[in-house]
Amino acid sequence: MARGTIVVETDRCKGCELCTTVCPQDVLVMSDSFNSRGYKPAVLVDPAGKCTGCGLCAVICPDAVLTVFRLPTVAKTGRASFAISQAVAA
């Protein structure tokens, strides 16, 4: 599964909560504290790394205060085994 992270510009967030309603992983919550404009901004709470970087939160945000980053994935590779049955001589 893809992994991602979100950066919220908390000073610009108006606390509309739209991002929290569309997040399929429920990693966005409203802060308990107020920002400089008097709103409780959205914050990322993702200790388990569940964010997939889907971008739904950024798309629905009316003030464009969310930036979504997709983290690089590491490809799982298996071990290739083969046998050379004959040596080729020149």
In a domain, 77, yes or no: no
In a domain, 14, yes or no: yes
In a domain, 67, yes or no: yes
In a domain, 15, yes or no: yes
Task: Check which CATH number belongs to the domain holding 66 and give it.
Answer: 3.30.70.20
Instruction: Band the pLDDT of 65: cuts 50, 70, 90.
Output: very high
Question: Tens of pLDDT along 5-56?
Answer: 999 999 999 999 999 999 999 999 999 999 999 999 999 999 999 999 999 9
User: What range defines the domain where residue 49 resides?
Assistant: 3-71
Question: pTM of this prediction?
Answer: 0.75
Classify residue 81 by its DSSP letter. Answer: -
Number of domains in the chain: 1
In a domain, 65, yes or no: yes
